[in-house]
Chain A
């Protein structure tokens, strides 16, 4: 091997170095590109009696600056960050919706109750009544607006779930494809790596990971298998399965994720296993925040409608009739699960104080309407009455058939003002249907106070109910009502004793010392246009703790919704910021190793240029030497 040949090996190696360097420079801005470098080594030396003479150099391989561990770290941080970012993008919409004081529920709620108070102060005033109806209409439309926005957000989530699935499938196909090309390229073994293809595949996996968390396992042929969830295969070698967005059995309006194997078998992947990435964020948002927010808003609507209606029904309108429903009461949503043939059970609201924002699953356990009710959030079996529901199962049922019950999900959207009342302000029941009177002839000091109507039982009164005191027996005899007599001992009960009649569901307090023959009369409230007793009670509902087991007012249920959404948004933002920092660090660690530094490449250019020049010089010297030899012959 001569000088010329050695020079050529150097020249080739330097040229390879220059080529690789320019490849790096050209790809400096390609996402996921790992810088490449040549691995140069000495040729096998030649043995002579004088020892080993070097035989120049050769390029063994082109390798990429790559570290499996750093790349994995980057994937983990990336999928988590994408998940939090998509969660944040969604929940911020609710956060902003609730933030705006002009569109939030609070001003409408306050405006409505101010109008109730105005009616209470001027019960006979038609303008005050009209204003109560107008503010009730704006309250109802505020509920509907908020619920409508949440519905829009929900539709957006469902659409994005669908489109994410399409994107995931596209990535799965590309990865399967590139797997084939890598296997083909590296058919001679993995000692010579198809660097650029490997980079491209890593980048595809990184982008797929932005959509959903995946795990990978390399195969001997250089292909990479990709799994989602708890190991459901998405790509095996050159074969890709597909995901599909399919409706859940328990709620056909809700999309879940199914894996369709190349064989065509479809399996729904449990939502809890699909975390990470945009899809994971969307699913978690829908499950953790959106359902809860809409249920909670509905809970306020149901609580308001049920308690306000109940009070309104025991009042009396301006025409002297018992009050009707003020709001059209929302009904619980009952969804038949896929395959269920049993007739739907009747589901009504019971005690509103027991109601929560939870959803339930009803499953029939026998053929005659026996069932169990489970809370979806934790799977615990509950009694309908304990959660504020009244369930009337059908007489015949199929064991295993099920219904999903969403008591408050649609309530805010369904809330409406009673149509008759909306058109006639006289129907507002500001008065109470019963009045009391003490006879002018009474000579004792007894008074009848605190007359309260508990329910519409026995109302309107068919005739007067007269209580007449008999001092010899210390009883009030009751004529025109039941019970027939009420015991009242002036010595022990002069400070007041409460009584409730059974013929009409009214309560009152008797106090003082009645004289023999003193009478009190309960009668229908004829012409009581200035009576505001029921309006006062309606107004008091604003601050009444009628909800969540008697611990919360309408406003506080709404406030806790705002606090929950605010806290969750903050949590997601803080975690997102932390995750972004982690991602930045992981990216920096990976880039520090793999990404191109142009200054470094400039230096390499000079280095290989000089190596090239030196090798060329070797060849020119070899040529000169040859000339010298030729010159000897002249």
Chain B
């Protein structure tokens, strides 16, 4: 084939340019650590990486939500334990009051103690969480849910709303218990928790009242109240377990997403560095051969 002088230059320059472009790409890959620099490098992987990044971001958010759910449930667990202790204490005092040997005065001491317990229970029922929202008010977090006094009326100003947190793509978990559920609606009993205690205190303080009748009523009521609190606590406990299990799944997923992302878009360093060396050798060979060839000319030998 006939070769023109221009062809020698053009081909020399274009092969050097090609090599330089390859080298630059490899250098970018090595310096960024990414195999996909622009979507066109691998369109399918680029789109999948976006989807995976979203999945990872959502998973991260669910992990944060799980933490929030776990904190909220822990707080309820804590308050419910306090309610449980109070009920057990009141029941114990009621059993003591059933001891026929107690004088009216001694019964008065028990009543005084129970007034304290009544106030403590009311304080728990009106507990606020870290954000200052009333825990047992349902959706009405800004409204103090309970007003009650011994011998007075009991009212619940909250609602039956359940606060929820999305803890996984398919699980929206209730993280609150309304005061209605814990203190007001007690299976097998005819009254709410405050009225039960208030009635007992009133009976203890009323010389005309029959103490043994009041004691047997309040013991039955306290047993029902305890059952109710234990039921709610068990449900909170099982949700805490569920959150923990979901947390484990989310951590596993997080690792998997990271691996998927890495596989999709990260560069294989060993391969890239080896390619880089190879390309460098090619480029040097192209440069040197071009220099040698371009120096050849018949005119070097003409004239003189």
Interface on A for B, CB 8 Å cutoff?
28-29, 92, 95-96, 98-99, 104, 106, 109-110, 113-114, 117, 120-122, 124-125, 431, 435-438, 440, 525-533, 536, 539-540, 542-543, 555-556, 558-560, 562-567, 569-570, 573, 584, 587-588, 591-599, 602-603, 605-606
Contacts and interface: CB of A to CB of B under 8 A. Distances in A.
Contacts of B137: 530
B161 A531 contact: yes
Most chain A beta-carbon neighbours within 10 Å: one of B38, B42, B58? B38
Most chain A beta-carbon neighbours within 10 Å: one of B5, B41, B53? B5
Contacts of B7: 588, 591-592, 595
B196 interface: no
Range class of the B interface residue count:
35 or more
A45 B50 CA distance: 86
A536 B47 contact: no
Given A597-B2, A605-B302, A566 B54 contact: no
B38 A96 contact: yes
B163 A531 contact: yes
Contacts of B207: none
B117 interface: no
A577 B48 CA distance: 26
B166 A120 contact: yes
Given A117-B61, A565-B39, A124 B165 contact: no
8 nearest CB pairs, A to B: A566-B39, A566-B43, A530-B141, A595-B4, A528-B139, A569-B40, A563-B47, A531-B139
B297 A124 contact: no
16 contacts: A92-B40, A99-B39, A106-B54, A110-B53, A113-B57, A114-B61, A440-B184, A528-B140, A528-B161, A542-B58, A559-B47, A562-B43, A567-B44, A591-B4, A595-B5, A597-B2
Contacts of A605: 302
B44 A563 contact: yes
Contacts, number: 191
Contact of B160 (A436, A540, A599, A606): A436
Contact of A560 (B42, B47, B143, B160): B47
A400 to B, nearest CB: 43
A555 B50 contact: yes
B6 A437 contact: no
A532 B58 contact: no
A596 B298 contact: no
Given A121-B165, A530-B137, A603-B298, A437 B160 contact: yes
Contacts of B172: 536
B51 interface: yes
Interface in B1-54: 1-7, 10-11, 14, 36-44, 46-48, 50-51, 53-54
B47 A599 contact: no
B165 A120 contact: yes
B65 A602 contact: no
A597 B139 contact: no
Nearest to A577: B18
Nearest to A531: B139
Contacts of A431: 139
Contacts of B184: 440
Given A121-B68, A527-B140, A563 B46 contact: yes
Interface in B113-139: 131, 133, 137-139
Nearest to B184: A440
Contact of B164 (A533, A542, A565, A587): A533
B169 interface: yes
Nearest to B54: A555
Given A104-B50, A528-B139, 8 more contacts: A28-B6, A109-B54, A121-B68, A555-B51, A563-B39, A565-B39, A565-B43, A599-B298
A536 B69 CA distance: 14
B185 interface: yes
A558 B53 CA distance: 13
Contacts of B159: 435, 437, 525, 528
B139 A529 contact: yes
Contacts of B11: 584, 588
Given A438-B160, A566-B47, A592-B1, A598 B298 contact: yes
A106 B261 CA distance: 15
Contacts of B160: 435-438
Contacts of B2: 592-593, 597
Contacts of B139: 431, 435, 525, 527-531
Contacts of A563: 39, 43-44, 46-47
B180 interface: yes
A106 to B, nearest CB: 5
Contacts of A121: 64-65, 68, 165
A130 B40 CA distance: 38
A570 B47 CA distance: 14
Nearest to A88: B40
B96 interface: no
Given A124-B141, A529-B142, A531-B139, A539 B161 contact: no
Most chain A beta-carbon neighbours within 10 Å: one of B6, B7, B133, B163? B6
Given A109-B54, A114-B57, A569 B39 contact: yes
Contact of B3 (A526, A592, A594): A592
Contact of B40 (A533, A540, A570): A570
Contact of A530 (B57, B133, B298): B133
A603 B41 CA distance: 50
B10 A602 contact: no
Interface string B145-165: 000000000000001110111
Most chain A beta-carbon neighbours within 10 Å: one of B54, B141, B142? B54
Nearest to B159: A435
Contacts of A98: 38-39
Contacts of A542: 54, 58
Contact of B297 (A117, A559, A599): A599
A120 B46 CA distance: 31
A81 to B, nearest CB: 13
A314 to B, nearest CB: 16
B5 A440 contact: no
A597 B4 contact: yes
Given A536-B164, A592-B3, A99 B133 contact: no
Interface in B163-208: 163-166, 169, 172, 176, 180, 184-185
Most chain B beta-carbon neighbours within 10 Å: one of A121, A527, A559, A566? A121
Given A435-B159, A595-B4, A529 B140 contact: yes
B165 A566 contact: no
A124 B169 CA distance: 23
A553 to B, nearest CB: 8
Contacts of B57: 110, 113-114
Contacts of A531: 139, 161, 163
Contact of B131 (A96, A124, A526, A567): A124
A559 B184 CA distance: 52
A28 B38 contact: no
A533 B53 CA distance: 27
A99 B42 CA distance: 11
Contact of A99 (B5, B37, B64): B37
B68 to A, nearest CB: 5
Contact of A125 (B4, B61, B131, B138): B131
A543 B4 contact: no
Nearest to A587: B10
B290 to A, nearest CB: 16
